[in-house]
Chains A and B, each alone.
Chain A
Amino acid sequence: MSGPSSYFARHAQALLSSAGHLARAPIATTFTVVVMGLALALPLGLDVLVRGAREATHDFSGAVSISVYLKAGVAEARANQLARTARERPAVATVELITATQALAQFRAQSGFGDALDALEGNPLPHVLVVTPRQASANPAAMETLRQYLAAWPEVDAVQLDGDWVTRFNAMLALLRQALLVSAGLLAIGVVAVVGNTIRLEIQNRRAEIEVTKLVGGTNGFVRRPFLYTGALYGLLGGLTAWLVVVVTLALLNPAIARLAHTYGSSFTLAGPGVRDLGILLGGGALLGWIGSWLAAARHLARIEPGAG
């Protein structure tokens, strides 16, 4: 009696019926979708923030450098030679030699202790190599390797890593990432609960219809089908709402973020969620809605049995 076309027609009918039910109750549907949208928007917004911060960290990688203080008495020619050697390292982007003379002149100009410096017999400052790593090597592990390499030179007195704050920043980002995952999990449970409760009420409202359907031989699976589609549609619309919320929020915030970044000499702005994010939101939202409605339907539909009145 039935075939694949009939099967798909039944599902299409259930889907359209579910969409019709949502459309016939626009206010209730909107409230549910908005609640789900906001719940899904929070982890998405946090994700956008973390991704933006990571991008910002890459921008800051130019600020990470290693100061190599040479021992007193190392000749300027040798210092130049060491600078050339350092530049040949693949991990190194630039090496700037600040000679002892230049350092003293800078100190004299900036410190205001010119007269005191004149009293010194010689220049107490060493030559310094300021080594900036390439962007790909501006990570804690590569920086440590480079530091150990430079510290092993016999002419080197001390090596100072000037990018500890980046390491701390990355640790904070990792923490934020963990918080994102935890909050996403909790909010997913919240979404499932919202859909489950909405479907529970829907089941109560359609009790008479369910009883008649079971009376004429409808299985729990058949009765459950439109509720599952309703839950999935809630999730789909909730995902779309979340995407729009984040896009609109970023559009409002980005000018201010750009102004703030500009004061640090950066052109940074937060990149909005892309098509991939939209796909994940729609798929994830529909899945959560499906799960929530399945749980509610499994619990409540089995309890409804037709009576003869």
Chain B
Amino acid sequence: MITFEAVAKRYRNGREALSNISLHLAPGEMVFLTGRSGAGKSTVLKLIALLERPTRGRVTVGGENTGKMPAWHVPAFRRRIGVVFQDHRLLVDRPVFDNVALPLIVADSSLKEIDKRVRAALDQVGLRGSERVLPAELSVGEQQRVGIARAIVSRPPILIADEPTGNLDPQLASEVMALFRRLNEVGVTVLVATHDLQLVRESGLRSIVIENGRIAGSEADGALPIIEAHR
């Protein structure tokens, strides 16, 4: 589903965020991406969502080589990927319903379909009844759940999340991870970038550790590479 082959990314300021990274996520797999701040986790996610393009190497998502994708095809490509950000990226002047409905609106879904799916997504994140509330009136945890509802509302085959539990207390973090697990169980490929090693250990899922733009290790079943376990 997602493949990186010898991928490097150098930003315009000269900083090399990734060096020769290769990784693979099978369809329907759920994987954690861990590493220190600035290690390159977010850059991996940006490359998957085509927010950036690789400087070298090849990124394939859903069978499509993103490096060669024409600009006109990018919006349709992005509609197949749900993205959750640590800072939520909500439209502060729009109510929860409008925020969650945005991916369906840009996809030109019918009003009936939008209504049905938004309510279902809010149900999944436990925010049913908050449709008319503005994001500023919600707690940080609730805002994060609105962001998750927006990411899953169009039922994308791929879900990527950048520190989705960074602002949440342990219980909420567990609930969010349980939600990701449920989505993964119905076939969604999930990649979660996180600092939270406890979460990774508890998950029993594969993790990939990135250090200084390189893969430092990859372990199955929630076991962490030594470099991470001793951090």
Q: What residues make up the interface of A, taking CB atoms closer than 8 Å to B?
A: 1-3, 5-7, 9-10, 208-209, 211-219, 222, 305-309
User: How many angstroms between the C-alpha atoms of A1 and B56 in the bound complex?
Assistant: 38
Q: How far is the CB of B169 from chain A (nearest CB, A)?
A: 22
By a CB distance below 8 angstroms, the chain B residues around A217 are: 75-79, 103, 106-107
> Which of B46, B79, B87 is in CB contact (< 8 Å) with A216?
B79
Assembly CA distance A293 to B186 (angstroms): 44
A39 shortest CB reach to chain B, Å = 31
Cβ distance B140 to chain A, nearest Cβ, rounded Å? 16
Which residue of chain B lies nearest to A1 when distances are taken between CB atoms in the complex? B109
Instruction: List A contacts of B90 (CB < 8 A).
Output: 212
A125 to B154, CA, bound (A): 102
Q: Which residue of B lies closest to A209 (CB)?
A: B91
Question: Could you tell me which B residues sit within 8 Å of A by CB distance?
Answer: 42, 45-46, 49, 51-52, 75-79, 83, 85-87, 89-91, 102-103, 105-111, 113, 150, 162
Task: Choose among A1, A2, A9, A215 the residue that contacts B49 (Cβ–Cβ < 8 A).
Answer: A215
In the bound assembly, the distance between CA atoms of A215 and B42 in angstroms comes to 15
On whether the beta carbons of B79 and A1 are closer than 8 Å, the reply is: no
Tell whether, in the assembled complex, residue A307 and residue B51 are in contact, meaning their CB atoms are under 8 Å apart.
yes
* Closest chain A residue to B193, Cβ basis: A308
A308, B51: Cβ atoms under 8 Å?
Answer: yes
Please name the 9 residue pairs, one residue from A and one from B, whose CB atoms are nearest each other, closest first: A217-B79, A218-B106, A2-B108, A216-B103, A217-B78, A219-B75, A308-B46, A217-B75, A6-B110
Residues of B within 8 A of A7 (CB): 108
* Interface pair A216/B102, CB less than 8 Å apart: yes
6 contacts between A and B (CB under 8 A): A1-B108, A212-B102, A215-B49, A215-B78, A217-B107, A218-B106
Instruction: Report the separation of the CA atoms of residues A211 and B52 in the bound assembly, to the nearest whole angstrom.
Output: 14
B88 to chain A, nearest CB (A): 10
Q: Determine the distance from Cα of A7 to Cα of B79 in the docked complex, in whole angstroms.
A: 19
Give the residues in chain A near B49, CB-CB below 8 Å: 215, 308
Do residues A2 and B106 form an inter-chain contact, with CB atoms below 8 A?
no
Asked if A216 meets B110 with Cβ closer than 8 Å, knowing A306-B51, A309-B87, the reply is no
> Is A213's CB under 8 angstroms from B45's CB?
no
Of the candidates B51, B78, B107, B162, which one forms a contact with A1 in the assembled complex, judged by CB atoms under 8 Å apart? B107
Chain A residues contacting B46 (CB-CB under 8 Å) are 307-308
Complex contact A6–B111 (CB within 8 A): yes
- Using A216-B102, A217-B76, A309-B87 as known contacts, say yes or no to A2 and B110 having CB atoms under 8 A apart: yes
Q: A219 — which chain B residues lie within 8 A by C-beta?
A: 75, 106
The answer to whether A1 and B110 touch (CB under 8 A), given A216-B150, A219-B75, is yes
Known: A309-B85, A309-B87. A215 touches B51 (CB 8 A): yes
- A6 to B108: give the CA distance in the assembly, Å: 7
B85, A308: Cβ atoms under 8 Å?
yes
Q: Which residue of A lies closest to B105 (CB)?
A: A10
Assess the B103–A1 pair: CB atoms within 8 A.
no
Further 20 A-B residue pairs, CB within 8 A, beyond A2-B108, A214-B75: A1-B107, A1-B108, A1-B109, A2-B110, A6-B111, A9-B111, A10-B108, A208-B91, A212-B90, A214-B78, A215-B83, A216-B103, A216-B150, A217-B76, A217-B79, A219-B75, A308-B45, A308-B52, A309-B42, A309-B162
Checking A5, A6, A309 against B109 with a beta-carbon cut-off of 8 angstroms, the contacting residue is A6
